[in-house]
A and B are shown apart, each in its own frame.
Chain A
Amino acid sequence: MILTYIGIFLVSVGVLFLFLGALGIVRMPDVYTRLQAGTKATTLGALGTIIGVGLIQPEWFWKTLIIAIFIAISNPISSHALARGSYKSGIKPFLKDDDGIDTYADVEDEEVDR
């Protein structure tokens, strides 16, 4: 019984963070900052909802745990691939003022292609 309540709590927190992630995607100025909001908030959101479901239905718990581990590993990798792909296709990051720093711009393309 107590597990059900913890599960419901986790699912609610997860849904809240998923919502904040979506809000971040609307409000942020460029693709990289949107990825920041997208990856972080959706990781905790997805972990919360999935493990919460596992606690509400205890016989699913181990399955949900394995799915959560896969998400925790694959989510940052996909966001890295999206960020790197956007940069290589020529999207410059949004910088607040002229002296904003972007060290990746100095990297030669051949170096990146290794």
Chain B
Amino acid sequence: MSRFLFTFLILFVAWLGFTTSLHPQELITGAVVSLIIAFVAFKTFTDFGLSFFHPQKIFNIIKFIAVFLVALIKSNFDVARRVVLPSLPINPGIVTYKTELKSDTAKVFLANAITLTPGTLSIDVIGDELFIHWIDVISTDPEVIFNEIGADFEKILKEIFE
């Protein structure tokens, strides 16, 4: 039930964002559509339900978004620098990254975050190993790979999803 309500709330908020109107017609249509979709999809949509709105989790989600945005901007300047420099300073390779996360959702967010952070692109996830295309391989030592690529996200995601 709590999972159903959570799905409904997320869908309804998205609807409000798209229509940006509080007219009763819009609200009723949105509520009906959200109810139907939530009923069909709530089992695959979330594992947590309303416990996701716990203040500690919300705080961690905001922290994750902040860390992510900073990394995104840094990565863009990094790519811009590599593209613009005439010498094209790249040393690409594919490395294995071992994650400590257990839940699948957390791994999806980790892989997405890694793709959008400096110089890395996740290619595949098998079990607890992520295969990552790294545009500038500075080391093949697993420890260094872990700290350079995803240690920041890993900590926050562990608190959100586990």
Q: Which residues of A does B touch, CB under 8 Å?
A: 17, 20-21, 23-24, 27-30, 32-33, 35-37, 39-41, 43-44, 59, 62-63, 65-66, 72-73, 75-77, 79-80, 83-84, 87, 93-96, 100-105, 107, 111-112, 114
What secondary structure prevails in chain B residues at the interface with A?
mixed
Please determine whether B116 and A40 come into contact, CB atoms closer than 8 angstroms: yes
Please determine whether B123 and A111 come into contact, CB atoms closer than 8 angstroms: no
Binds A, one of B22-30, B52-60, B78-86: B78-86
Q: How many residue pairs between the two chains, A and B, have CB atoms under 8 Å in the bound complex?
A: 132
Please determine whether B133 and A83 come into contact, CB atoms closer than 8 angstroms: yes
Output the nearest chain A residue to B115 by Cβ-Cβ distance: A76
CB distance from B111 to the nearest CB of A (A): 7
Please determine whether B90 and A32 come into contact, CB atoms closer than 8 angstroms: no
Please determine whether B17 and A32 come into contact, CB atoms closer than 8 angstroms: no
Please determine whether A35 and B121 come into contact, CB atoms closer than 8 angstroms: yes
Q: Which residues of B does A touch, CB under 8 Å?
A: 14, 16-18, 20, 72-73, 75-76, 79-80, 82-84, 88, 90-96, 111-113, 115-116, 119, 121-124, 126, 131, 133, 135, 137, 140
CB distance from B143 to the nearest CB of A (A): 15
CB distance from A84 to the nearest CB of B (A): 5
